[in-house]
Structure 1
């Protein structure tokens, strides 16, 4: 089996090494307009091969309707223009001999589409990964192996993204990613965010946008950058939609269904997305801990812990919205979304405790059960007004978000000696851990185009957040359930963030482009420990500059340099001093003394012939918020908490290549190497941890016929550093097959995720008196069968407004952060 794995890995990651003929490149450019000579912004432009009309590249017309294809080799080409609400348009066949001047096409004038489209389904093939000037875009449906997956598994495959064993998300080896859904932050704890994404069907998703250094318009939160998950929408008159049904079989079965509906008539557009997800999973976690004396570092006890966990979730997601077009220039919109995710968790835990000579003297058997109900409601009202045809516009959003978590748990412990004789009475701890979060946010943005293609942007934002956590613990004493005042706690956190920004971007010369931005954020926070009647307050003001510069050396080479300062505020759960137990000896605890962390990010990039992008990055982070493990040897306890433990330095290099190998084979490969160094104080001792990591991510897509296609994808990560954990190598290999049916109205996809069952997380950590190893695996090998049916009755709409980011992007993420 090992030779087979090696062969597949080489085929997956080494495919793009095919050479290219060295010829002088040329370019084709032009403009798209309607019959009134009005520029058609966002028209889709495709460059086709002249001999067989196969697609070589896609592009999008800018605000002036302009497009350009550069770095073209000698050969014959066609240009195809498509725009919603208009007839398709082709150019004449063009012949480039490698020594011609740039070709400027005659204006491509599109006629309006008047025919009804009853029973006709329009589909377009998009590349799986698109590299844009300020972000990387992953088109979710372009990957066969995404069928039947959830949103977290989609992120796991995205270039530069890492998902650890607990669902924490990193970008290019850096923690502190701000995750948005349709521009709105999720505002959840790491665990709750992971559960939300695990219960969000891939069939609901359209794109994943990855921004490592966002401009000043975006919130400054997110040390590593922003990941924006965009759900499906449409631009079509009449009634249309899609329905998806998927079944997956791992150790347990998994079912998800989704329905997307859209209706547009006259001045009103309506949309609705509904999905259901039923998942049953298992998790196995083994921990070996050496409990050492803090002063002498001598071994005192050895723990061998084995946990078998099983979870069930049955989530329902729904989102409804409407846009009303007051005029051609003014649009009002509203949306309402809700997610309900009830679930149960059961954990059977075995702890074997030995002395320093390896003699077993105590066995603790624990059973932990939890019933959870998670619900969130999101409401948005938005406004957009275009002042004129130059692109000058004003937009505004108001958002309200409410999160409600009810978590009831019990922990029962039973104590035995090495011969399974009971050595003392068992005990049971009950807990009720409610959490309520309310967020109100508003923002306004103004865009002003300037002469010479430049643009000026400015905006303001204000948000208020209140979290209320009232944890109650009860202990079983003499057969009676008694309130445990020592563990119970009531914590309220209130925060207001006010922000303003300006941004100026445009060409500096024929070869130089630049962008400068500055964002000001004020944070006012108050935390109240109701139980102990103690209060902490914070008030700080920060500036966050951003700068981008791009140099086009020639037709083949484009260089870019950018800088940004960012902040990562503690998520609300981390500030909450609650205690949550895994077993009698292992728990996690919040830290109300957490301070924000700040980072400086610099990136230098080079793009060669528009298909190969290389990026070098440097990041310096102070007061880094990091999850650490601390131990109490006397009580034999280990607990996890967040702390401002260290400063971090990271240097990395990433290479991204997407290109057609042949007419029927397209390859996409991403490679990232990073070096991380943490240095700080943990448990009163100076700790220095350093590690290097290499990550490879690849997808090979094969067009077998007009209706059949296949895909192989996967990733591999070497040993490296994740916080204070030294992780072992891990990887995954996926296979997929797809068939278009019912005159392309339907599709059937079969895929196998984690074919060789290699998604097994292993790590170790050693510092101060902490010495532990971890092994964890889940129900990751799954066979999925997915059917999707698309229907429409109407005609395409070329002027539907874009749904924009909301005003609550940062706050929604910090309901937990990651």
Structure 2
């Protein structure tokens, strides 16, 4: 790993530190049992004009960097505990304080909201997005990700942070190892108010799997974080050309020692996709394809969990998810071969495909956490098992003037995925934290596709196949973090051992095997730069090495039928790609402001298209290692200062990519750039009514080998609360201008194609939600939000 640029910046930051000597003061806030209290608000006052604010992290720790020693007034506030107000004396040396808060002793009733938490805040090497403002204007978890500033969700459900590689989606800190469509379906069935926060890790530490080359988006669910029983019931619809209907129940319960949660959601959905393509066959001949696909379906989804404190040190937990999806798709594809100079139709076919599928998912996890001391040291162990089954029945019919072909088939897949993980965190003292852990995963996947040609009942060898796939990954990591004089330094090393075995049984007996071990270093550095208007300006520098492994579908050499003119073929010689990630960013008062990043990828593999030399009407979609990709990005985020009742978050990101390698055995050298802008606005019309507007706009530019036109989406909503703020009504319009569609071109090697892609994205929606139980008290002191009355 080339760390020369990192070393230079570290040296410059270190030299600048000699210009000033800071006093570092750390506070650990816990309850009477010694359990750390997250999101406790701390304020330090030197006099009436100087105030510093901080919020404790997940370990209950908050750190202040002060210019001078002396006498300070400390105030600590958090929900359910008696406030602290005391005077402390700080000497010339760095100081560490432990604070134990006592319960307030009063039964909680309805709490008046005084101010919302930050929409986005920076905590070490991750950005934390508060889910509540997004939940108020969203109908499900997937929409919340679409509305999160800085995330780009493409039409296939891929989530992009900064890299051209899609991000990995985690639920409660664990990778789901599911297909993109399955993850999207799960998120679409998560009630929005069941999500506590969204964590964005663009350069994850050594604690996380090295496969997160595109970063990690971790969706954290609520787990009975409030005292007593609370929850909500909701129902709604979205209507475009077709409509979605949904209803759900969300429950959270916490009696102190035991907390639990339950979410149930039922959805009836329908949408469409229009995909038109024109591919050059010869200099004067085009293949024109117009495909319209309709996707009706029903989904039943539930997730649940329970966590119990066995004693003052041990906590046991169980989390689970179950889902059943019954769906259909109907595709109507018109194919015409046209002479472009005269527009004469040389031949035409009609392809009809009907699919019926049933999918079942069970995901279960048990965990045990040992609290070692009151400083935040802990030992966490988790074991999980996921079973997924999918059955697809397909009927197809291809008709032309000269030839008709039809048939039917069945595809069954089974996936077993197990994980065992153990993580140890030790707070050794003097600002030093040591982390280490082990993880082992096992994936077993089977696929059985059996097709028959119409009429004769003979097996169709072009579609019938059967294979088994096994994958075992074993990893070990060590990581240390040290806080000193306003600096935070974290470094780690992760080792991963990869074992892959594929065995194709039908149509031919083929196998492949991969055995390799790799090291992945990580380093993180942070320091305070200055203080402006009581906001701490802090700089962060992160570097990491990551890997992207090919899946079995990308390795399997069997030609998979797509349509009469297109097949998918895996590449068993595909190598994993490695990326060096570097990012420098700046935050103000824990609010991310500016980031500069660089990703250097070797052996990059991506979708490639090859046209048959023997039959130009036939094309093959595959994967190949095309060479290297160097990516530079610049991201900015800012808040418009709130007035009486208005605030806004605006931002943008610039990406520049350069590809160097080989395509079809010929040199490949090209570059591309694109801009992504995003915004979020909220206007309080009165104490109970809110108007919000959010959207993104992506200027024309490349996405891997595709050159996309301008595209974006603008969504507005009006929300009103009734019945003492317990009843919530939201009306929204998504993709108002119907701009979330695009034209595209791909010109690589022998393939020269263009087209259009659009879907049922412009929709009107109505959601009704009734909240019962306790209203969560909000945090104070944020430049991105205003209070319920519109006052700062």
Settle same-fold status: TM greater than 0.5. Answer: yes
Residue aligning to 1:45:
41
Residue aligning to 1:458:
436
For residues 627 and 70 of structure 1, the distance between their equivalents in structure 2, rounded to whole angstroms, comes to 53
The one of 520, 545, 555 aligned to 1:565 = 545
Residue aligning to 1:139:
130
Instruction: Give deviations 1:114-137, integer Å, cap 9, x for gaps.
Output: 333467798973332223321122
Contact 1:693–1:718 (CA<8 Å) still a contact in 2? yes
Residue aligning to 1:518:
493
Residue aligning to 1:590:
570
Q: 1:354 to 1:586 in 2, by over 3 A?
A: same
The one of 318, 327, 348 aligned to 2:302 = 318
Q: 1:501 to 1:251 in 2, by over 3 A?
A: same
Q: 1:701 to 1:68 in 2, by over 3 A?
A: farther
1:80 Cα deviation after fit: 7.5
Q: 1:396 to 1:587 in 2, by over 3 A?
A: same
Do residues 650 (structure 1) and 631 (structure 2) align?
yes
Q: 1:196 to 1:481 in 2, by over 3 A?
A: farther
* Greater relative contact order structure (CA < 8 Å, 6+ sep): 1
Q: 1:655 to 1:324 in 2, by over 3 A?
A: same
Contact 1:259–1:273 (CA<8 Å) still a contact in 2? yes
1:79 Cα deviation after fit: 9.1
Do residues 665 (structure 1) and 646 (structure 2) align?
yes
The one of 198, 203, 215 aligned to 2:205 = 215
1:35 Cα deviation after fit: 9.2
1:262 Cα deviation after fit: 2.6
Instruction: Give deviations 1:143-192, integer Å, cap 9, x for gaps.
Output: 367422x4333323333322222222322142142111222222223344
1:531-550 matched pairs, under 5 angstroms:
531=506, 532-550=508-526
Residue aligning to 2:78:
83
1:783 Cα deviation after fit: 1.5
For residues 306 and 97 of structure 2, the distance between their equivalents in structure 1, rounded to whole angstroms, comes to 39
Residue aligning to 2:584:
604
Q: 1:260 to 1:588 in 2, by over 3 A?
A: same
For residues 767 and 639 of structure 1, the distance between their equivalents in structure 2, rounded to whole angstroms, comes to 13
1:318 Cα deviation after fit: 1.0
Residue aligning to 2:281:
291
1:545 Cα deviation after fit: 0.2
Would you say how many aligned residue pairs link Structure 1 and Structure 2? 735
1:653 Cα deviation after fit: 0.8
For residues 244 and 564 of structure 2, the distance between their equivalents in structure 1, rounded to whole angstroms, comes to 32
For residues 147 and 612 of structure 1, the distance between their equivalents in structure 2, rounded to whole angstroms, comes to 23
Q: What secondary structure is seen at the aligned counterpart in 1 of 2:729?
A: strand
Q: 1:36 to 1:713 in 2, by over 3 A?
A: closer
The one of 352, 361, 374 aligned to 2:336 = 352
Q: 1:754 to 1:386 in 2, by over 3 A?
A: same
For residues 175 and 553 of structure 2, the distance between their equivalents in structure 1, rounded to whole angstroms, comes to 15
The one of 467, 473, 479 aligned to 2:445 = 467
Q: 1:203 to 1:486 in 2, by over 3 A?
A: same
Q: What secondary structure is seen at the aligned counterpart in 2 of 1:755?
A: coil
1:90 Cα deviation after fit: 7.8
Do residues 551 (structure 1) and 542 (structure 2) align?
no
Q: 1:158 to 1:396 in 2, by over 3 A?
A: same
Contact 1:249–1:784 (CA<8 Å) still a contact in 2? yes
For residues 550 and 580 of structure 1, the distance between their equivalents in structure 2, rounded to whole angstroms, comes to 49
Do residues 765 (structure 1) and 751 (structure 2) align?
no
1:344-743 matched pairs, under 5 angstroms:
344-355=328-339, 357=341, 358-415=343-400, 423-476=401-454, 479-507=455-483, 509-531=484-506, 532-556=508-532, 557-577=537-557, 579-608=559-588, 611=591, 613-632=593-612, 634=615, 636-658=617-639, 660-743=641-724
Do residues 175 (structure 1) and 165 (structure 2) align?
yes
Residue aligning to 1:801:
none
1:548 Cα deviation after fit: 0.8
The one of 110, 114, 117 aligned to 1:126 = 117
Residue aligning to 1:813:
none
1:626 Cα deviation after fit: 0.5
For residues 615 and 474 of structure 1, the distance between their equivalents in structure 2, rounded to whole angstroms, comes to 55
1:82 Cα deviation after fit: 4.1
What RMSD, in angstroms, separates the aligned Cα atoms of the two structures?
Answer: 3.3
Residue aligning to 2:8:
none
Q: 1:56 to 1:474 in 2, by over 3 A?
A: farther
Contact 1:406–1:432 (CA<8 Å) still a contact in 2? yes
For residues 91 and 736 of structure 1, the distance between their equivalents in structure 2, rounded to whole angstroms, comes to 44
Contact 2:32–2:101 (CA<8 Å) still a contact in 1? no
Q: 1:79 to 1:425 in 2, by over 3 A?
A: farther
Q: 1:132 to 1:795 in 2, by over 3 A?
A: closer
1:426 Cα deviation after fit: 1.1
Q: What secondary structure is seen at the aligned counterpart in 1 of 2:437?
A: strand
1:430 Cα deviation after fit: 2.2
Unaligned residue ranges in structure 1 (runs of 5+) = 1-25, 50-54, 72-77, 93-100, 293-298, 416-422, 797-818
For residues 514 and 67 of structure 1, the distance between their equivalents in structure 2, rounded to whole angstroms, comes to 14
Q: 1:627 to 1:151 in 2, by over 3 A?
A: farther
Q: What secondary structure is seen at the aligned counterpart in 2 of 1:160?
A: coil
1:748 Cα deviation after fit: 1.5
TM-score relative to the length of structure 2? 0.86
Q: What secondary structure is seen at the aligned counterpart in 2 of 1:555?
A: strand
Contact 1:151–1:198 (CA<8 Å) still a contact in 2? yes
Q: 1:677 to 1:624 in 2, by over 3 A?
A: same
Contact 1:368–1:583 (CA<8 Å) still a contact in 2? no
Residue aligning to 1:777:
758
Do residues 343 (structure 1) and 319 (structure 2) align?
no
For residues 391 and 304 of structure 2, the distance between their equivalents in structure 1, rounded to whole angstroms, comes to 25
1:717 Cα deviation after fit: 0.7
1:270 Cα deviation after fit: 2.9
1:714 Cα deviation after fit: 0.7
Unaligned residue ranges in structure 2 (runs of 5+) = 1-21, 46-50, 68-72, 778-792
Q: What secondary structure is seen at the aligned counterpart in 2 of 1:554?
A: strand
Do residues 242 (structure 1) and 239 (structure 2) align?
no
For residues 304 and 494 of structure 1, the distance between their equivalents in structure 2, rounded to whole angstroms, comes to 40
Q: What secondary structure is seen at the aligned counterpart in 1 of 2:142?
A: helix
Instruction: Give deviations 1:42-76, integer Å, cap 9, x for gaps.
Output: 14327799xxxxx99873367465465999xxxxx
Instruction: Give deviations 1:277-323, integer Å, cap 9, x for gaps.
Output: 2211011111111113xxxxxx1520121111110121111122222
1:236 Cα deviation after fit: 3.0
